[in-house]
C-alpha cells in the first residue's frame, strides 16, 4: 500500500478522523475548507502528532500510537509542497532548488529541471516569479530532497486559469513519470476527479 492511514486528532472543537488505504498513484483527500485536510498532511509529515491511530507509507510505519512509534520528521523523508511556495527570498531559483538537495537518490538536478520546465528561471529571484512559476520551483525543491513520498497542499490555490492548467499538467506528469506515492488535498471536485488515482472524502 502507498498510504495506510488511520488517524484521529482533536483540534479545539473539531475532531478529525481520517481513514485512507490506497495503492500506487496519486491519492486525493477531498473536502471543504476547514475539514482538516491540511492537518492530515501535517500528521503524515510528522509536524503534528495524532491523538491515536497509525501512519504507514509504502509499508513502513511512521506513526503508531498503540506501539509508541513516532518517526522524526527528517527521517520520514516527505517532500512537502505547502499552499504558499515558501521560497527563500534571498536565494535565486537555482539556490532554492539546491537547498536540502541530497543528491544520493531519486531524480538528479538536471532531470528535475527538465521535468518541470524551469531552466529559464534558474537565475531569477523569487519575487519576480508568477504564482505558477513559484509553485513549480517549490515542487522541484521537494523532489530534489530525495523524498519517499510527496504531500501537496492545495497546489492549485490562488492561481489564475492559465497557471492552474499549467500546474495540473505538471502534477499529471509527476503522477505518471515519477512513480512516487503522492497525497494531495483539494476542495475542488474537478481537480480531484482529473488528478486522483483515488479520491477520499473527509
Best-predicted range by mean pLDDT (4-18, 43-57, 104-118, 150-164): 43-57
Query: H or E stretch including 184?
Result: strand 182-186
* Residue entry with cell 478529525: 16
Percent of the chain at pLDDT exceeding 90: 66
Asked whether the predicted pLDDT for residue 104 surpasses 70, the reply is no
pLDDT at 111: 85
pLDDT at 84: 87
Structural domains in the chain plus CATH codes: 3-201 (3.40.50.300)
Compute how many other C-beta atoms are within 10 angstroms of the C-beta atom of residue 55.
26
Give the bridge partners for 182, in sequence order: 26, 150
**Eight-class DSSP state of 111:** H
User: What is the grid cell recorded at 149?
Assistant: 513520498
Range in 43-52, 105-114, 160-169, 192-201 with the lowest mean pLDDT: 105-114
pLDDT at 200: 92
pTM, two decimal places: 0.91
pLDDT at 146: 86
Instruction: Tally the C-alpha atoms within 13 A of residue 143's C-alpha that lie toward its C-beta.
Output: 25
d(CA 12, CA 156): 28
- Name the band, by pLDDT with cuts 50, 70 and 90, for residue 12: confident
pLDDT at 24: 86
Asked whether the predicted pLDDT for residue 106 surpasses 70, the reply is no
Amino acid at each position: 500500500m502507498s498510504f495506510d492511514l488511520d488517524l484521529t486528532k482533536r483540534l479545539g472543537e473539531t475532531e478529525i478522523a481520517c481513514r485512507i488505504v490506497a495503492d500506487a498513484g496519486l491519492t486525493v483527500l477531498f473536502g471543504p475548507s476547514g475539514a482538516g485536510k491540511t492537518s492530515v498532511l501535517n500528521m503524515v509529515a510528522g509536524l503534528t502528532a495524532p491523538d491515536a491511530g497509525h501512519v504507514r507509507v509504502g509499508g513502513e510505519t511512521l506513526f503508531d500510537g498503540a506501539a509508541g512509534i513516532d518517526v522524526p520528521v527528517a527521517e520520514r523523508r516527505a517532500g512537502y509542497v505547502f499552499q504558499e511556495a515558501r521560497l527563500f527570498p534571498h536565494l535565486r531559483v537555482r539556490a532554492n532548488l539546491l537547498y536540502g538537495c541530497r543528491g544520493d537518490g531519486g531524480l538528479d538536478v538536471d532531470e528535475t529541471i527538465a521535468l518541470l520546465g524551469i531552466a529559464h528561471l534558474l537565475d531569477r529571484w523569487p519575487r519576480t516569479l508568477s504564482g505558477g512559476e513559484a509553485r513549480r520551483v517549490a515542487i522541484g525543491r521537494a523532489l530534489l530532497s530525495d523524498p519517499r513520498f510527496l504531500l501537496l497542499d492545495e497546489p492549485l490555490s490562488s492561481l489564475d486559469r492559465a497557471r492552474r492548467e499549467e500546474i495540473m499538467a505538471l502534477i499529471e506528469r509527476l503522477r505518471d513519470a515519477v512513480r512516487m506515492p503522492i497525497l494531495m488535498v483539494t476542495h475542488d471536485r474537478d481537480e480531484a476527479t482529473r488528478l486522483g488515482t483515488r479520491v477520499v472524502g473527509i
